[in-house]
């Protein structure tokens, strides 16, 4: 996985789906954090980028997966200030705040998979409720 390629690919996919510049930047920032974690903590891995469409709503799903050591305590890893690598400790929690949907699956010695979803204009069901 190449960080520059991930950022460029996510920005291009988001732009093609109609994300505004601010939302593109949020999504690229989250993707960059997750790709970096996959490389640094997971020893490398892969990213899957999938356009989504529900009715008239469009979104982008990104799944980052690795076969690294896994995360022993996910809640602790999501807590601001926690770091296992000497960084600022904002990676997972920060990425979670930048997207509409966030899920993580990890087990010690079995790798980690993080999936995030962003929707153009916000969550589809939230837009339906505002009408």
Report the pLDDT value the prediction gives residue 27, as an integer from 0 to 100: 95
Report the pLDDT value the prediction gives residue 82, as an integer from 0 to 100: 63
Report the pLDDT value the prediction gives residue 72, as an integer from 0 to 100: 85
Q: Which residues pair with 65 in a beta bridge?
A: 46, 113
Q: What does the CA dihedral 39, 41, 47, 52 come to, rounded to 10 degrees? A: -140
Contact (Cβ atoms closer than 8 angstroms) between residue 28 and residue 11: yes
Report the pLDDT value the prediction gives residue 84, as an integer from 0 to 100: 64
Place of tokens 């980052």: 64
In whole angstroms, what is the distance from residue 32 CA to residue 19 CA?
A: 17
In whole angstroms, what is the distance from residue 121 CA to residue 89 CA?
A: 29
Residue ranges for the chain with pLDDT beneath 70:
81-90, 125-131
Report the pLDDT value the prediction gives residue 85, as an integer from 0 to 100: 60
Which pTM does this prediction carry? Answer: 0.87
């Amino acid at each position: 996985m190449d960080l520059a390629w991930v950022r460029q690919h996510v920005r291009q996919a988001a732009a093609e789906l109609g994300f505004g510049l601010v939302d593109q930047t949020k999504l690229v920032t989250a993707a960059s954090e997750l790709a970096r974690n996959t490389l640094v903590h997971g020893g490398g891995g892969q990213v899957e980028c999938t356009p989504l469409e529900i009715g008239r709503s469009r979104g982008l799903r990104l799944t980052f997966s690795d076969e690294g050591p896994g995360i022993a305590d996910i809640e602790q890893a999501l807590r601001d200030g926690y770091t296992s690598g000497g960084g600022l400790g904002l990676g997972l929690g920060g990425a979670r705040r930048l997207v509409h949907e966030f899920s993580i699956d990890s087990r010690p010695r079995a790798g980690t998979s993080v999936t995030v979803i962003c929707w153009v204009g916000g969550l589809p069901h939230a837009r339906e409720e505002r009408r």
